[in-house]
């Protein structure tokens, strides 16, 4: 017996050691799949020389000394999950959330039958949610949220009879919600927010969920109605179905959920208003019905719900005003969101006593009046958004007594100076005062008194004075927007603002400290490693761009400095700004060449117009495959336009006018998406090809003041989008195409100073939008059209065309008195002379033939035979005479006399005849015909 006990003890010790070894091997395999361990926790602590039970994140059971818990949450680990974890058969809790694990969940984890919770939230897992989860009988908490799982929710999850929490939010799941889930009576939390689930919420949803506390179905594609049996979920505290496609009425039964604390219904297609029964929810803290259009004004019962801490009716087409007694019942209100509505009246009269209010968002409404000094009573207020209303007056100094974090007053009619106390709110992170009428100077210590400032917006006001150098001490600044003020003096050194992303100081009167020298503040920006936008346009810097511009942030996307009196060359180092998408240096005094290094960038827009640049257009620009806008006009560029520019399908606007460019036009005619092309005022030659019809999107086309020649192809009538077309001051010739009348959207057409001939097409009369028309200085002739748009044009449009005629107001000769009647008379006369007369002559000749034939037949008749009244005489048509005489050919001419000619004819039956054709224009010829007939 004693030996047996010793044997059993030895065997237990053996298996315990063996099992512990298995757990260690599984965890070592798991560690081997970790590709990134930034804190070196596993590398330093998970040593095979120590017991796994002492490893960080590992817990073991007392009885068997086996691993029961693995918790590596928030270690920033990267890698995949080793299938060896399936060997931790005593594991009850697995938590590797808030890391960067990727890949699929290994099927080997299906062996973890003791697992009670699996928490994989906030990783990069993908693939399907494994159906074998339904085979883990003890599972209570299944949290797979914030990953990239796809496919459907497995039906087998309905087998987890002990499940309490099911969290699959923020994945990419599709399909319908398995109805079996709503039969798990132990469920307390169902969380499916932000997937692509569709279908209806089952009508029996709460029949078997007595413990359900949270139902989260927002941000999906669910349809149908909210089931009325929700009232059976008596324990429900949180209900969120916002942003689906749910319709119908909001069920009044929601008012029976007496434990409800949070209700989110916004972004659906409800109808019929908000049921008053919601006012019975005495524990409700959050009521959010934003982005709906089911209520004309704020429901009155809302203001009696004293438990409410948050009200959100944003973007719900509300009108009317905020009730003045709002604060009497809503003394617990902390957050009020009524933005993007049509609310009117004054604001603060009704909310000044809501002492717990932390967030007030009333932006984009129609509120009027001022901000009273009693605003200082809102001692809990942290976030104030009143932008885009009609507020007036000055800012009360009492605003400075609050611990504001953000204040947005953009787009009102506020005026006066900013109280100094506002610039002393040390908690302020966003100060946005743009688009008002504020005046005064910025305090010299602004950067010291606002140490937490991140966003500073004061654009479009009337601030004066200098930009304080202390602003560089606000080291957390990411956005500075001071455009459109009256600021003067130099820009201070901003190198200490290492987090700065956007600098916008254009439209002021800023200068450089030393004229004609490099812009120092630009060099200081090289320390701002996150810089994305620099906007310094419309100032008077009068300096030179430093070569250090090439050392600006590699994330810089936009550099705008137009109208700044900048001189000198464009530094070639600008080609180092690898992320640059737009460069705007127009309207300066830049000289030298366009740097070929621009071709190395990812530019989408180049604006270098109105400068003094010279040399060639670099062919390197053809490497900019995303280039949409190219503005090089009004410089001194010469040479040819690079042919390869015609291959940049991304081009939308090309403005090269007012340079000295030569040669023919590149193949711009194949750019079907280009909508603006201006090549005017150069030395370009050649002709317009028929391929111009490929410019399907063109709206503005100006080829004027060049040396183009040839005819305008009729295919120009296919550029149907064109609005402005100018071909003036060239050497075009031939007729104006009739097809121009097909350009129904045309507003301006200039064909002046060419060699066009022929008439002005009447087809242009249908161009009802044509406002400007000029065909002066050509060789046109004929009558000027009078219909449609031509009734509005003046003599300026037609001058110096010697052959034109028309109305006196156009200062051209009249086409002739009673032109229409005379024209018609001449037409009739010509008709009689050239058509009717010959036909009549032929008819007379036919009559003679008829009489001759009759005479012959009579001579052959016996004397006693009487002529029958029913005898049919042969009729001869004009067409038969034409055929018989071979169209009165000279070969068949027998002779000519004073009054006509005689032709030989042969009918189809062989009968020979003589046909005399009289000249019916001669009076004596008619008499001669009558004699012949007698």
What residue numbers does the annotated binding site for ATP cover?
927
DSSP 518: B
**Is the Cα torsion angle 498, 504, 505, 511 positive or negative in sign?**
positive
- Residues in Cβ contact with 373 at an 8 Å cutoff, skipping those fewer than 6 apart: 396, 397, 398
Cα–Cα distance measured from residue 909 to residue 318, given in angstroms and rounded to the nearest whole number: 98
Vertex 848, ends 843 and 853: CA angle to 5°? 120
- Residues in Cβ contact with 456 at an 8 Å cutoff, skipping those fewer than 6 apart: 431, 471, 474, 477, 479, 480, 481, 482
Cα–Cα distance measured from residue 135 to residue 836, given in angstroms and rounded to the nearest whole number: 106
User: 845 burial class (0-12, 13-18, 19+ CB within 10 angstroms)?
Assistant: buried
Cα–Cα distance measured from residue 504 to residue 534, given in angstroms and rounded to the nearest whole number: 6
Element housing 661 (H / E): strand 660-662
Residues at the binding site are 927
User: Are the CB atoms for 504 and 526 separated by under 8 Å?
Assistant: no
Smallest CA-to-CA distance from 880 within 853, 908, 901, 852 is with 908
Phi/psi of residue 418, nearest 5 degrees: -80, 125
Cα–Cα distance measured from residue 393 to residue 408, given in angstroms and rounded to the nearest whole number: 16
Beta bridge mates, 212: none
User: Are the CB atoms for 286 and 310 separated by under 8 Å?
Assistant: yes
Cα–Cα distance measured from residue 34 to residue 53, given in angstroms and rounded to the nearest whole number: 20
Cα–Cα distance measured from residue 263 to residue 251, given in angstroms and rounded to the nearest whole number: 13
β-pairing verdict for 392-393 and 413-417: parallel
Q: How far is CA 691 from the centre of its chain?
A: 30
Cα–Cα distance measured from residue 758 to residue 383, given in angstroms and rounded to the nearest whole number: 73
Joined together, the tokens standing for residue 84 give 């060896």
**Count of alpha carbons within 13 Å of 505, Cβ hemisphere only?**
23
Beta bridge mates, 94: 70, 118
């Amino acid at each position: 017996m004693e030996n047996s006990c010793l044997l059993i003890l030895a065997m237990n010790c053996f298996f315990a050691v063996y099992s512990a070894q298995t757990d260690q091997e599984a965890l070592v395999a798991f560690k081997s799949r970790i590709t990134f361990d930034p804190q070196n926790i596993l590398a330093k602590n998970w040593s095979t020389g120590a017991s796994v039970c002492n490893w960080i994140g590992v817990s073991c059971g007392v009885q068997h000394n086996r691993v029961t818990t693995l918790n590596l949450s928030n270690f920033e680990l990267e890698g995949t999950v080793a299938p060896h974890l399936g060997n931790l058969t005593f594991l009850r809790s697995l938590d590797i959330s808030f890391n960067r694990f990727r890949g699929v969940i290994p099927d080997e984890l299906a062996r973890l039958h003791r697992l009670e919770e699996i928490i994989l939230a906030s990783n990069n897992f993908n693939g399907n949610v494994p159906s074998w989860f339904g085979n883990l009988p003890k599972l209570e908490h299944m949290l797979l949220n914030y990953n990239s799982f796809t496919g459907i929710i497995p039906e087998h999850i309905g087998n987890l009879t002990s499940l309490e929490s099911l969290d699959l939010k923020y994945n990419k799941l599709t399909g319908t919600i398995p109805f079996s889930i709503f039969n798990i009576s132990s469920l307390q939390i169902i969380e499916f927010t932000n997937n692509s689930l569709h279908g209806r919420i089952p009508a029996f949803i709460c029949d078997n969920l007595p413990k359900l506390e949270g139902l989260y179905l927002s941000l999906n594609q669910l349809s149908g109605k909210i089931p009325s049996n929700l009232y059976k979920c008596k324990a429900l505290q949180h209900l969120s179905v916002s942003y689906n496609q749910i319709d119908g009425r909001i069920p009044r039964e929601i008012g029976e959920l007496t434990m409800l604390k949070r209700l989110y219904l916004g972004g659906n297609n409800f109808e019929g208003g908000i049921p008053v029964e919601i006012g019975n929810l005495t524990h409700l803290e959050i009521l959010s019905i934003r982005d709906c259009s089911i209520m004309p004004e704020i429901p009155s019962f809302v203001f009696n719900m004293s438990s409410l801490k948050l009200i959100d009716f944003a973007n719900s087409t509300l009108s009317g005003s905020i009730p003045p007694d709002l604060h009497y019942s809503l003394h617990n209100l902390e957050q009020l969101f009524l933005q993007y509505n049509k609310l009117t009246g004054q604001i603060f009269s009704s909310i000044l006593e809501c002492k717990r209010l932390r967030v007030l968002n009333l932006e984009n409404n129609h509120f009027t009046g001022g901000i009273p000094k009693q605003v200082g009573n809102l001692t809990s207020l942290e976030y104030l958004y009143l932008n885009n209303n009609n507020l007036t007056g000055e800012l009360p100094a009492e605003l400075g007594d609050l611990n504001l974090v953000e204040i947005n007053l953009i787009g009102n009619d506020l005026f006066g100076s900013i109280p100094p106390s506002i610039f002393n709110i040390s908690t302020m992170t966003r100060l946005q005062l743009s688009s008002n009428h504020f005046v005064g100077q910025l305090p010299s210590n602004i950067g010291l008194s606002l140490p937490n400032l991140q966003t500073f917006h004061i654009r479009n006001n009337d601030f004066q004075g200098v930009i304080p150098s202390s602003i560089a001490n606000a080291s957390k600044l990411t956005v500075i927007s001071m455009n459109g003020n009256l600021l003067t003096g130099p820009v201070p050194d901003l190198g200490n603002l290492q987090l700065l992303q956007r600098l916008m100081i254009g439209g002021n009167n800023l200068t450089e400290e030393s004229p004609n020298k490099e812009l120092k503040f630009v060099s200081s920006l090289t320390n701002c490693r996150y810089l994305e936008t620099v906007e310094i346009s419309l100032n008077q810097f009068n300096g030179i761009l430093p070569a250090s511009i090439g050392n600006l942030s590699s994330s810089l996307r936009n550099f705008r400095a137009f109208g700044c009196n900048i001189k000198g060359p464009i530094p070639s180092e600008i080609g180092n700004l690898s992320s640059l998408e737009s460069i705007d240096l127009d309207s300066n005094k830049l000289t030298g060449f366009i740097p070929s290094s621009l071709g190395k960038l990812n530019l989408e827009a180049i604006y270098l117009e109105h400068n003094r640049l010279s040399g060639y257009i670099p062919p390197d620009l053809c490497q900019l495959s995303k280039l949409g806008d190219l503005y090089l006009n009004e410089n001194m560029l010469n040479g040819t336009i690079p042919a390869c520019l015609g291959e940049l399908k991304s081009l939308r606007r090309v403005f090269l006018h007012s340079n000295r460019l030569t040669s023919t036009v590149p193949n711009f005619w194949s750019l079907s998406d280009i909508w603006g092309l201006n090549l005017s005022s150069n030395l370009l030659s050649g002709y317009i090809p028929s391929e111009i019809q490929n410019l399907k999107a063109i709206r503005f086309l100006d080829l004027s003041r060049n040396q183009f020649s040839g005819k305008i192809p009729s295919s120009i009538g296919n550029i149907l989008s064109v609005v402005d077309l100018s071909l003036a001051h060239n050497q075009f010739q031939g007729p104006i195409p009739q097809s121009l009348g097909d350009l129904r959207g045309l507003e301006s057409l200039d064909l002046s100073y060419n060699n066009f001939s022929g008439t002005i097409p009447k087809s242009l009369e249908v161009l009802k939008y044509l406002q400007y028309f000029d065909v002066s200085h050509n060789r046109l002739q004929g009558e000027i059209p009078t219909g449609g748009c031509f009734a509005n044009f003046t003599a300026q449009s037609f001058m110096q065309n010697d052959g034109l005629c028309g109305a006196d107001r156009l200062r051209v000769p009249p086409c002739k008195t009673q032109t229409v009647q005379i024209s018609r008379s001449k037409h009739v006369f010509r008709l009689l002379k050239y058509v009717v007369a010959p036909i009549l002559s032929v008819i007379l000749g036919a009559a003679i033939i008829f009489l001759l034939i009759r005479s012959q037949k009579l001579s052959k008749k016996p004397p006693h035979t009487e002529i029958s009244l029913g005898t049919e005489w042969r009729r001869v048509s004009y067409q038969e005479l034409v055929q018989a005489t071979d169209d009165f050919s000279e070969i068949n001419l027998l002779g000519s006399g004073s009054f006509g000619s005689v032709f030989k004819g042969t009918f189809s039956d062989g009968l020979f005849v003589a046909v005399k054709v009289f000249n019916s224009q001669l009076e004596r010829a008619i008499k001669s015909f009558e004699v012949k007939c007698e």
